[in-house]
Chains A and B, each alone.
Chain A
């Protein structure tokens, strides 16, 4: 691959229209049907080179199907998808050499050592041996697995296996790394450390990262997010822009006299407030700018004020009409199946 493509800068997500050759991924009218079920129902988006792009949605929303199409594992029913400029239908081999993959479920061989797993990968991808050893060493050192490289993978913890899989996904220097729910089933501390490693690797690697998650907090750190629900993208922008599009901040105050304060809010400021968690709560645009006015005009002594920006949970709620937890709960059979499968592993 030409070196100029690797050094092309990651563009500001809110920046100008990207040219087609700046796209790491482009998807047009993508549809995937399984019999009657439309897993992906017409999806369009582009991911720019160097972006950390989050694909957010509840289980069964079409995230994994989309990834599988982009990775050439599943043929689309309709539409077009390009990865690294290559068509996923007609240039499978080129796409596969351009991407790295980390699946939801582990695809390591537990009876091989970490090093043997990496060597297997390098051989399958035809990576030159000398280059493999150097790169594998550097990557393993970065994720703190160098000392454990000769241990059988089945002796690794869940977090270690994930780190090894990420190293393996990056081993052949892909232009795009796909992470499908990379932290599923890990405890919060391990999740955080996986993301630290991903961010560090991204710093050094100049790689586009496309990941799916249904953890809202993980989506906060990415350049742009697409929210997918029932096989369609319902919103796509930077986390900040998405939150801004939801509009109002949430303000909570405590006062000397809550009843009088609520009345004053209604009469003097035209705001309907309620009481939640022992505090007067209401929504207002640009909450921080509203606070001085509140002190000036309320006429009731205020004890405390807190202003909360909308979270991605609020964004999800605004675009899909329900919270992501509600969306997950909609499908009890799937959850039972997932729990059962999880236990088996």
Chain B
């Protein structure tokens, strides 16, 4: 009693379990983030607006104040000083919000499609984290393209270093956003919670002021903020490309110190990467426990 299936549709079977399939999963989750981002012109433009306001409105507005007090050295505008911090800002908000897409995926059901697939949940999160980081870095690159407007030269080495640091920052913050997003259902809650973390982190990172010569309490807080360790290398990279007297450079971009010791750039960046990985691990553990 053989049933013939003469017209059977071409067979396509799942591949064997293993690292290869997990990586394919990671990649396709990442690709989807990019496709979704490229469709969302409004989001690209709106997240460009905030950095531009900081740079040109706040930067220009405060300049007159600074000029009166004589705080900034000759030849250095406040806009240039703000630039690395604003660069970081443009990326950090996009990064955290791209973690929020996990909530949309949950709301509109697509998350289920991913959760029932024969791949690890952690692979989905890695795809989301790297995808979000790439998207946020692209956003940062838009601001990076404006370097000339604030007298920062377009040097390939500088641009590459900044792009790399932006990616690291974006990765760490997307991972942080995922820690929050994996257990939530409401977008409102997500925005409220992330704002609660993001604003203090941004203000403590030294994005808007030099890190040295601060009162002790603020000095300690800035050293606890992971963002500090990526804003600082970015600022030093930008200022090393400017033609400034060494004393001036030391005053406005002197680097992060622990006690009296200067923290090397490599250590700073490794710290940020470690934060990112740690956030991702926490997110994966929390994600594994949901549903």
Contact = CB atoms under 8 A, between A and B. Distances in A.
B5 A138 contact: no
A124 B28 contact: yes
B14 interface: yes
Interface stretch (B115-123, B147-155, B281-289): B115-123
A73 B291 contact: yes
Interface string B84-119: 000000000000000000000000111111111111
A205 B10 CA distance: 9
Interface string B19-43: 0110011011000100110010000
B36 A111 contact: yes
Given A106-B109, A107-B109, A112-B35, A172 B116 contact: no
B109 A105 contact: yes
Interface string A115-128: 01001111111111
Contacts, number: 121
Contact of B24 (A73, A112, A116, A126): A126
A127 B110 contact: no
Nearest to B17: A93
Number of chain B interface residues as a range: 35 or more
A183 B114 CA distance: 22
A7 B12 CA distance: 16
Contacts of A127: 12-15
A250 interface: no
B7 interface: yes
Interface in B32-79: 32, 35-36, 39
Contact of A172 (B13, B25, B36, B113): B13
A206 B8 contact: yes
Given A126-B15, A128-B12, A120 B28 contact: yes
Contact of A10 (B3, B35, B291): B3
Contact of A171 (B5, B12, B119): B12
Nearest to A93: B118
A182 B116 CA distance: 17
Interface stretch (A129-137, A285-293, A332-340): A129-137
A75 B96 CA distance: 32
A131 B10 CA distance: 7
B110 A108 contact: yes
B93 to A, nearest CB: 21
Contact of A204 (B8, B14, B119): B8
Contact of B5 (A105, A119, A123, A205): A205
B196 interface: no
Nearest to B119: A124
B116 A9 contact: no
B11 A110 contact: no
A261 to B, nearest CB: 50
A27 B93 CA distance: 49
B243 interface: no
A9 B1 contact: yes
Contact of B3 (A92, A121, A123, A206): A206
Contacts of A107: 109-113
Contacts of B116: 71-73, 96, 101
B100 to A, nearest CB: 15
Nearest to A108: B110
A277 to B, nearest CB: 44
Given A7-B2, A97-B118, A111-B36, A132 B12 contact: yes
A129 B36 CA distance: 22
28 contacts: A7-B5, A9-B1, A71-B116, A97-B14, A97-B17, A97-B118, A107-B112, A107-B113, A108-B113, A109-B113, A110-B108, A111-B36, A111-B39, A112-B32, A116-B35, A123-B24, A124-B25, A124-B28, A125-B14, A126-B14, A126-B21, A127-B12, A128-B15, A131-B12, A131-B13, A135-B12, A138-B9, A205-B5
Sorted nearest first, the 8 A-B pairs with minimum C-beta distance are A126-B15, A123-B28, A131-B12, A126-B21, A96-B118, A124-B117, A135-B12, A107-B109
Given A92-B118, A139-B9, A204-B5, 17 more contacts: A72-B116, A73-B116, A96-B117, A107-B112, A111-B39, A112-B32, A119-B28, A122-B12, A124-B24, A125-B14, A126-B24, A127-B14, A128-B12, A134-B10, A135-B10, A204-B9, A205-B5
Interface of A: 1, 7, 9-10, 50, 71-73, 92-93, 96-97, 101, 103, 105-112, 116, 119-128, 131-132, 134-135, 138-139, 142, 171-173, 203-206
